[in-house]
């Protein structure tokens, strides 16, 4: 009989699959190492098990212990699977940027999940780096994994991912292209491949908002490069010990939009349902296409499964809200189609200014049309409010009609984008669309900017 004694024995030996459509602009054989075939649906199963085994071997992890880690989900999944088989508890600290699916999946495999804010400095006590370190120090019989600096992370890829790719390509691989987060995948795999053939070129995929590319090119850790981004799994605002920059030939940065668009393309064009960093890797590879020639064998690695992104990159509304969907927006009807069923927030001339302010705050809007029984007769926006307040500190208790500005122009649903753009000026922040059913909807300057 041929069977695995437990799920951990099924980790590794993932397939290498030729890409035929999404990379057709590239004049080389392009092969994807599809890591979703691991039992936790990501490459991270490999390093998670390796980190646990090494910690067991040298006594850092003791029987019945608690495994603590700051993880964006995939490492957590790998650790949780191994913990189930080996009898450990898991506490994972995750940033609020990560998809809800990832958090639910970790809870499904028995882990406790603690969510921390993304937009704080790594040194901030609320950051997920700090919280996981603190829990590691406070929890009895616990082991803080620290995948960023834990050498077993890269070692797993030196022992498994590298040799698998070498054997599957019969040593013909010429380039390896891969997203970089902790650096374990790129450094471990690169070390093995370069030992076999130093001419193999290693390309790291980075994201805007991360420090890797500039650091690799200049040796400067530039804090100006750090800002929040959407792409998941790659890029960092720290320099993990697992990134061995000496093994990497170059980095290319991919935008959030391109990463999302290409994640969808891989599913639609290749039938390979993989996660967001795979989209970054493919787009990055296309950006590097002049580096590849006809006889090259280029291997790209897909880290995780698409199911973890169904509420994000694979959701049209999520994509549209971020301006990531390539839709043609030509008319007023196109501009409002995602929110046309929401009621228009308006104010009455006789209401107090304080009411308008409250409504603007509740709905998080910057402008509001004003009505009387005859229809729209005025408008209030933040600059009207500010100027009125400077002139009269008691303005909140006055009726809206005393301070309101001109009414917003009304356009038909068929009005062209250019026509609407011309109506939006410094003095006029919005236009109203006549929905031809007695109702109106608003188009703001922000809607126009998002659309273009």
Ligand X SMILES: Cc1ncc(COP(=O)(O)O)c(C=O)c1O
Q: Could you list the residues that contact ligand X (CB under 6 A)?
A: 72, 74, 179-186, 232-234, 275, 277, 303-304
* CA distances (Å), origin 415, targets 266, 331, 421, 440: 36, 5, 10, 14
- Find out whether 447 and 335 touch, Cβ atoms under 8 Å: yes
Nearer residue to ligand X within complex by CB, 194 or 441: 194
Min separation Cβ 103 and ligand X, Å: 14
- Find out whether 276 and 260 touch, Cβ atoms under 8 Å: yes
Nearer residue to ligand X within complex by CB, 131 or 205: 205
Q: What is the distance between the alpha carbons of residues 264 and 268, in angstroms, rounded to a whole number?
A: 6
Q: What is the distance between the alpha carbons of residues 321 and 260, in angstroms, rounded to a whole number?
A: 13
Query: Which residue of the chain is nearest ligand X when measured via CB?
Result: 233
Nearer residue to ligand X within complex by CB, 233 or 405: 233
Q: What is the distance between the alpha carbons of residues 254 and 22, in angstroms, rounded to a whole number?
A: 16
Active site residue 364: no
Min separation Cβ 63 and ligand X, Å: 28
Nearer residue to ligand X within complex by CB, 309 or 408: 309
Q: Which of 44, 194, 253, 445 is catalytic?
A: 44
Q: In the structure encoding, which two tokens stand for residue 40, read together?
A: 């936790």
Min separation Cβ 422 and ligand X, Å: 44
Q: Kindly calculate the radius of gyration of the chain based on its CA atoms and give it in whole angstroms.
A: 27
Min separation Cβ 234 and ligand X, Å: 5
Nearer residue to ligand X within complex by CB, 324 or 408: 324
Phi-psi region of 136 (alpha: psi -120 to 50; beta: other; left: phi over 0): alpha
Q: What is the distance between the alpha carbons of residues 437 and 116, in angstroms, rounded to a whole number?
A: 46
Min separation Cβ 303 and ligand X, Å: 3
Nearer residue to ligand X within complex by CB, 97 or 413: 97
Residues 6+ apart with CB under 8 A from 173: 165, 166, 193, 197, 200, 297, 298, 299
Min separation Cβ 75 and ligand X, Å: 6
Q: What is the distance between the alpha carbons of residues 159 and 162, in angstroms, rounded to a whole number?
A: 7
Phi-psi region of 398 (alpha: psi -120 to 50; beta: other; left: phi over 0): beta
Q: What is the distance between the alpha carbons of residues 387 and 407, in angstroms, rounded to a whole number?
A: 18
- Catalytically annotated residues: 44
């Amino acid at each position: 009989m041929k069977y695995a004694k437990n799920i951990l024995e099924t980790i590794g030996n993932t397939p290498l699959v030729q890409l035929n459509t999404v990379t057709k602009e590239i004049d080389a054989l392009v092969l994807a190492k599809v890591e979703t075939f691991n039992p936790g649906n990501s490459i991270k199963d490999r390093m998670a098990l390796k980190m646990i085994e090494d910690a067991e071997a040298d006594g850092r992890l003791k029987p019945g212990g608690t495994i603590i880690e700051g993880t964006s989900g995939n490492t957590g999944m790998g650790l949780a699977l191994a913990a189930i088989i080996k009898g450990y508890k898991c506490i994972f600290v995750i940033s609020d940027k990560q998809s809800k699916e990832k958090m639910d999946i970790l809870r499904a495999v028995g882990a406790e999940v603690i969510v921390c804010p993304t937009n704080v400095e790594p040194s901030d006590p609320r950051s997920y780096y700090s919280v996981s370190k603190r829990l590691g120090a406070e929890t009895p019989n616990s082991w803080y994994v620290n995948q960023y600096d834990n050498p077993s992370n890269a070692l797993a890829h030196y022992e498994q991912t590298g040799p698998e790719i070498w054997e599957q390509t019969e040593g013909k691989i010429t380039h390896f292209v891969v997203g970089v987060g902790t650096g374990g995948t790129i450094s471990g795999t690169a070390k093995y491949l370069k030992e076999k053939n130093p001419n193999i070129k290693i390309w790291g995929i980075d994201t805007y908002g991360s420090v890797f590319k500039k650091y690799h090119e200049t040796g400067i850790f530039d804090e100006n490069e750090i800002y929040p981004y959407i792409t998941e799994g790659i890029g960092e605002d720290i320099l993990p010990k697992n990134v061995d920059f000496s093994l990497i030939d170059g980095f290319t940065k991919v935008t959030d939009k391109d990463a999302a668009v290409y994640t969808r393309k891989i599913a639609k064009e290749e039938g390979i349902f993989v996660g967001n960093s795979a989209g970054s890797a493919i787009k990055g590879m296309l950006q590097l296409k002049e580096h590849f020639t006809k006889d090259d064998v280029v291997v790209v690695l897909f880290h995780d499964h698409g199911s973890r992104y169904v509420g994000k990159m694979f959701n049209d509304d999520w994509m549209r809200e971020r301006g990531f969907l390539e839709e043609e927006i030509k008319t007023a009807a196109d501009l409002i189609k995602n929110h046309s069923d929401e009621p228009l927030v308006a104010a009455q001339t006789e209401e107090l200014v304080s009411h308008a302010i409250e409504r603007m705050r509740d709905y998080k809007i910057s402008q509001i049309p004003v009505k009387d029984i005859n229809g729209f007769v005025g408008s209030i926006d933040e600059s009207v409010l500010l100027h009125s307040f400077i002139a009269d500190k008691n303005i909140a208790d006055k009726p809206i009609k005393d301070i309101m500005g001109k009414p917003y122009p009304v356009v038909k649903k068929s009005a062209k984008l250019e026509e609407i753009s011309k109506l939006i000026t410094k003095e006029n922040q919005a236009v109203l669309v006549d929905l031809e059913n007695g109702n109106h909807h608003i188009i703001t300057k922000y809607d126009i900017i998002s659309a273009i």
